[in-house]
Amino acid sequence: LNEITQTTQAYDENQIQVLEGLEAVRKRPGMYIASTGPKGLHHLVYEIVDNAIDEALAGFCNKIVVEILPGDIIRVTDNGRGIPVGIQHKTGLPAVTVVFTILHAGGKFGGGGYKVSGGLHGVGASVVNALSEWLTVEVRNGEHLYYQRFERGTAVTELEERDATTETGTTVTFKADPQIFKETTVYEYEVLQTRLREQAFLNAGVEIELIDSRGEETVRNNFCY
C-alpha cells in the first residue's frame, strides 16, 4: 500500500510543483527569456535546438531540422536516441513529461533559477512549453513512437504509445502564445538562418537544416561544417 500511496502522494506534490513552476514562467517571462518581443520569440527556437545540439554533442545525433510551418508553428526534429520515456521514480511521470513540465531552476551548472545570458543551457524545454499556446513532443526510441500534447505548459494528453518504429529521434512542434508574445509571433527567416549557421559552425559535424514552408515556395538551407 505504501508504494501506491508514495506514487499517488508524489504525483500530487509534483502536480503542484509543475503548476507553480509554469505559472511563474508565464507571470514573469522576462526572467526566463530575454524579452517577450521578437528577440524572446526567436529565443524559444534556440532553447529547443540547444537540447538537440546537446544530444549531438553526446555523439548520438548528427542532423537537426528546424521548420517554420504555416501559422508560424516551429518544428524541430533530431535523429538522436529520443528523450527517455521510462517512468521517473521521483515523480512517477515519464522522463519526457518531466523535461517539458518541471522547471529545472538549477540549470545544468547549478545556480539559481535566473536566466543565464546565453540561454538556459538545455533545460529550457519547460520554459518554451509554458510560453507556447500548444506544444507536442514525439519520441521515436527504436521500438515505438510516443506522443504527448501540452497547452500553455499543461499536459492535455498522457504520453501515448503509438505505432512501432525502428527509427530514433525527437520531434518538438510548438506555437508561441500570442498572449505572451503580444508584439509579434512572426519569425524572421534571416534571424534563424544566422543563428543556426553559427550553431552548426560551433558544433562541427552536426548538420542543421532550416526550412520555411510558410509561403508558396519552400525555402531551405543546410549548414554543416
The pairing of beta strand 132-141 with beta strand 168-176: antiparallel
* Closer residue to ligand TTJ in complex, CB, 88/222: 88
E-strand ranges in 52-167 read 63-69, 73-78, 87-88, 93-94, 132-141, 144-151, 154-155, 160-164
Taking the least distance from each CB to ligand TTJ, the nearer of 68 and 172 is: 172
Q: For residues 220 and 67, is the Cβ–Cβ distance under 8 A?
A: no
Smaller CB separation from ligand TTJ, 78 or 212: 78
Distance in Å, CB of 34 to ligand TTJ, minimum: 19
Closer residue to ligand TTJ (CB): 50 or 212: 50
> What's the rounded Cα separation, in Å, for the pair 209 and 17?
36
Q: Which residues bind ligand TTJ (CB under 6 A)?
A: 48, 51-52, 55, 76, 78, 80-81, 83-84, 99, 125, 170, 172
> How far is Cα 25 from Cα 153, in angstroms, rounded to an integer?
10
Q: In whole angstroms, how close is the CB of 99 to ligand TTJ at the nearest point?
A: 6
**Residue (5 or 109) nearer to ligand TTJ, CB:** 109
Q: How many CA atoms lie within 13 A of 180 on its CB side?
A: 32
Angle at 22 between CA 127 and CA 113, to 5 degrees: 65
User: 3-state DSSP: the chain helix, strand, coil percent, rounded to 5?
Assistant: 35, 30, 40
Q: CB of 83: closest distance to ligand TTJ in angstroms?
A: 4
Q: How far apart are CA 110 and CA 81, in angstroms?
A: 25
